[in-house]
Amino acid sequence: MGRFNRQKKNLRHVHYEQSQPSYDAVRKSRFEVRMRRKYGDSVFDGWKAEATKERRAAEAAEGPSPAQRMRFVELLAEKANCLKRVTTAKAKVAAAKKALDEATARYEKAKEEKRVMEAEYRDILAELRRIPAELPSSRRGMLRSGGDIVTKEEGENVAKQEGENAVKQEGGNVMKQDEGRVVKME
């Protein structure tokens, strides 16, 4: 039923594939392996080091290539430009740090002032708590004591009193009414 195809093969023309590719690196490594086997690792490493030194010395004697010279000039120009930018950036950082230090100093000063004012306020509140509650009563910034009634006259900023003396604070000055007349005390 089935036929299988038989091809005629010429055994002389068979191409064997190489077990490893034959490029330079592989050849070098094969050479290196043979040399290491034949002379030993230390001897071969010594030869290799000497060859590397000689090659580098020859390259140094030749000097840089034209491409290396061009790159060197480009790098020098870039270095000068970068130095200018770094100097500018350092100046900006110094100015910003100075501004930050000044702002921090203002903040600390304001914070200290606030702390002092809060302490004064607490002292005032503590002193107010020690004084009996019926004596001082505040009404529109005017103080009254006991049975005194203090009213404000229309059109004037004078305290009117029935009974004893009245005391009123006005813009930092202390006003005291003494028997019908107003006395300004500083």
pLDDT digits (tens, 9 = 90+) for 117-139: 999 999 999 999 988 766 555 55
Is the pLDDT score of 141 beyond 90? no
Beta strand 159-162 with 137-139: parallel, antiparallel or unpaired?
A: unpaired
- Alpha helices, H only, 63-175: 66-130
pTM here is 0.34
Q: What is the pLDDT of residues 47-83, one digit of tens each?
A: 788 888 888 888 777 778 889 899 999 999 999 999 9
